Structure 1
Amino acid sequence: MATGSVLTEIPNAVSRELESFKTPARKDVSPVPKIGDRAPPSSNLFLTQPKPTIIVFLRHCGCPFAEKTFRLFTKFSNHHPEIHCIAVSHSSQADTDKWITEVGGEWEVDVIADPDRELYSAWGLGLSSTWHALNPWSLYSAYRLGKDEGIWNTPTSSGTRWQTSGAFAVDAQGFVRYAEIAKSADFVPDFKEILKTLEAEKKGMS
């Protein structure tokens, strides 16, 4: 890369990082779906029947915990073709596509870009607090993730650091069977636990 391009990119990256700290416009957020509720209807999130579905709502592209979550999810999807796996990003489509390539590809995960955060709101995921995003434990967890696994925070192209993440599982009939909302920024879903929940539900129906 030419020196001029580097000098131009540095302030652009700083500007994008600062933009990610701005509080976005608040949206009307629906209640979090309860276990046993019908999954919220959506025109762009398709639940593949008769498969159960796991839906993961990510933090911004560039967040190390989003990267850790997505890497685990893609590996999970490759080993469990009987489950429909969906990841939702609130970064732009272009930035989401670029980030997915950088973190290893989508494997068997369907990825939906939701920059207007309509899906997040429909599933009860609103904006978080400063403590949620920047508490000492989450910051230390980010440091450990970088040191131990080489997953560091990377420049944010779009999206907001204040968006709450979460994970849901929906059975083959379209009912919510698992719901977990991030209590802090370092949230990473336990996919083994989600799988156990779906398997227990399936056995209970047989």
Structure 2
Amino acid sequence: MASLIRTAGTRLSQELQSRQSPPDPPERQIAPAPKVGDRAPQSSPDIAFPTSKPVIIVFLRHCGDAFAEKTFNKLTAFSVKHPSIKCIAVSHSSQSATDKWVIDVGGEWEVEVLVDPERNLYAQWGLGLGSTWQVMGPSQVINAYRLGTDEGIWGQVVEGDESGNKWQMGGAFAVDCSGAVRWVHIGGNASDIPDFEEGRKALEDAKKVDHERNGLA
């Protein structure tokens, strides 16, 4: 019982500390999010196009977040099922926190995990901070409770402020081999988890259209 109380106290302390995170400074520029048909941002050597495989790239909210854990678990399962698609997950938690968190939630499987503590990649892909309603609204509290009771996902304990900014919103994109964005899912709230099969279908549909346009079988 004492151990449970200490764990609960640690989590509460971390939650209170994270809620005090200051807003992004005015000089931090959040680019418009790419739309379907746009060219993907050439934002990093790790995320550069064209590629040999289509890519699904997922920006996680933060390590320790139950919804991020659910999203990452779905992505790892997807990565094993669809090896023809390169799967990338981006974390803005610290490198050490991310490394530990990935192990704690079951491993990366076929997912490439990138760490972006300055959140530059997030900004370049149009992902900024959420509002109080998006992050802490009643529906988010209820959804978090249901995720815990129904699936046993309550989030992981991350030491200190290593988990990053809990106001950061997540998102997911599917990009074809040429670098064209074919699917966009920007979370409307913290509990909005993307359906990666939608991304896969969008990539396949775009490939069929391109083949028909070019007269290929």
Q: Tell whether the structures are fold-level matches, with TM greater than 0.5.
A: yes
1:129 to 2:127 alignment = no
1:81 has 2:79 as partner: no
Partner SS state of residue 197, structure 1: helix
How much does 1:155 deviate? Answer: 2.5
Closer/same/farther in 2, CA of residues 39 and 125 from structure 1, 3 Å limit? same
The equivalent of 1:42 in structure 2 is 43
Alpha-carbon distance change, 146 to 10 in structure 1, aligned in 2, over 3 angstroms: closer
The aligned residue for residue 141 of structure 1 is 143
Supply the distance in 2 between the matched residues of 1:201 and 1:66 (Cα, whole angstroms).
28
Match for residue 21 of structure 1? Answer: 19
RMSD: 2.2
> 1:120 and 1:139 mapped to 2: Cα distance?
24
TM-score by length of 1: 0.91
Range 38-47 or range 169-178, more displaced? 38-47
Instruction: Give the drift of 1:203.
Output: 1.0
Between the aligned partners of 2:45 and 2:15, the Cα distance in structure 1 is 29
User: What is the correspondence of 1:144-159 to structure 2 with a 5 Å cutoff?
Assistant: 144-157=146-159, 158-159=163-164
Structural mapping, 1:105-116, within 5 Å? 105-116=107-118
Counterpart selection for 1:186 from 164, 168, 191? 191
Please report how far the alpha carbon of residue 156 of structure 1 lies from its aligned counterpart in structure 2 after TM superposition: 3.8
Mapped to 2, the partners of 1:47 and 1:75 lie a distance apart of 24
Q: Whole-Å Cα distance in 2 between the matches of residues 67 and 187 of structure 1?
A: 12
Q: TM-score, normalised by structure 2?
A: 0.86
Residue 138 of structure 1 and its aligned partner are, at CA, apart by 1.4
Q: Aligned letter for 1:20?
A: S
Count residues in correspondence: 203
Q: Does 1:198 align with 2:176?
A: no
Code of the aligned partner of 1:171: D
Structure 1, unpaired ranges of 5+: none
C-alpha displacement at 1:148, in angstroms? 0.8
Q: Output the CA distance in 2 between the equivalents of 1:152 and 1:131.
A: 20
Q: Which moved more, 1:183-192 or 1:37-46?
A: 37-46
Compare 16-25 and 93-102 and name the one that shifted more: 16-25
Counterparts in 2 of 1:15 and 1:142: CA distance versus 1, 3 Å: closer
**Other structure's SS at 1:148 match:** helix
Q: Matched residues, percent identical? A: 53
Q: Distance in 1 between matches of 2:42 and 2:16?
A: 34
Report whether the alignment pairs 1:162 with 2:167.
yes
Checking the alignment, whether the CA contact within 8 Å between 1:167 and 1:181 is kept in structure 2 is: yes
Secondary structure at the counterpart of residue 20 of structure 1: helix
In 1, Cα distance between equivalents of 2:193 and 2:61: 10
User: 1:196 is matched by which residue type in structure 2?
Assistant: K
- Give 1:31's aligned residue: 32
